[in-house]
Amino acid sequence: MALHTLTLDLAPAAPKTRIQARLHVGVTGSSDLEIMMHPEDLSGRVAVTVVTPVTGFDALWTRVLQKFLDDSGLCDARIEINDNNATPAVVLLRLQQALAAA
């Protein structure tokens, strides 16, 4: 299965949350995804890489991640996502769970 890689450079509306250590939640099971986050000084921005088997949803990924950043204020971090057909609901939940585990 060909994988599609999406790279995003995003910033929260109001930066306020920084993670201190590397985080890992989820597994790349069917309809699920794996998220890794680690702190990195990116002048308040967040770098995201999504590896997914599905194409055609780049705008949706951007919206979901932007909402997560706006809600949480997460900044200065790198997020790596290995997706296996997760719905936006699952993506958002896993992101929230990752941050809650920090």
Partner 1 sequence: MTQQDKRNNWRKRAEDTAARKEAAAPLYAKGKEVLAKDTVALLEAVIRPFDIINIEGNNQKQADFLAECLNKVDRAKIHDLHMVQSAVPLPAHLDLFENGIAKKLDFAFGGPQAGRVAKFIANGKIELGAIHTYLELFGRYFLDLTPRVSLVCAYKADRKGNLYTGFNTEDTPAIVEATKFREGIVIAQVNEIVDELPRVDIPGDWVDAVIQSPKPFFIEPLFTRDPALVTDSQILLAMMCLKGIYAEYGVTSMNHGIGFLTSAIELILPTYGLELGLKGKCCTHMILNPHPTMIPAIEEGWVDTIHCFGGELGMEDYVASRPDVFFVGPDGSLRSNRAFAQTAGHYAIDMFIGGTLQIDKYGNSSTATAGRVAGFGGAPNMGCDAKGRRHPTDAWLKCGQELPSLDRDIGNLPRGKRLVVQGVETFGEGRAPVFVDELDAWKLARDADLPIPPVMIYGDDLTHIVTEEGIAYLNRCKDMEARMAAIRAVAGFTDIGLAAKPEETRALREAGIVKTVSDLGINPARANRDLLAAKSMRDLVTWSGGLYNPPARFRNW
- By the criterion CB under 8 A, which residues form the site for partner 1? 31-32, 54, 57, 60, 63-64, 67, 85, 87-90, 92-94, 96-97, 100-101
Q: Tell me how far, at minimum, the Cβ of 52 lies from partner 1, in Å.
A: 10
Q: Of 14 and 87, which has the nearer Cβ to partner 1?
A: 87
Q: What angle do CA 86, 68, 6 make, to 5 degrees?
A: 55
CB of 43 to partner 1, least distance (A): 27
Closest approach of partner 1 to the CB of residue 1, in Å: 15
**Nearer CB in complex with partner 1: 6/42:** 6
- Residue 41 or 87 with smaller CB distance to partner 1: 87
Q: Which is nearer to partner 1, 42 or 102 (CB)?
A: 102
E strands within the chain? 4-10, 23-25, 32-39, 46-52, 77-84
Query: Strand order of the sheet with strand 4-10?
Result: 4-10, 46-52, 77-84, 32-39, 23-25
- Residue 2 burial (CB < 10 Å; 0-12/13-18/19+)? exposed
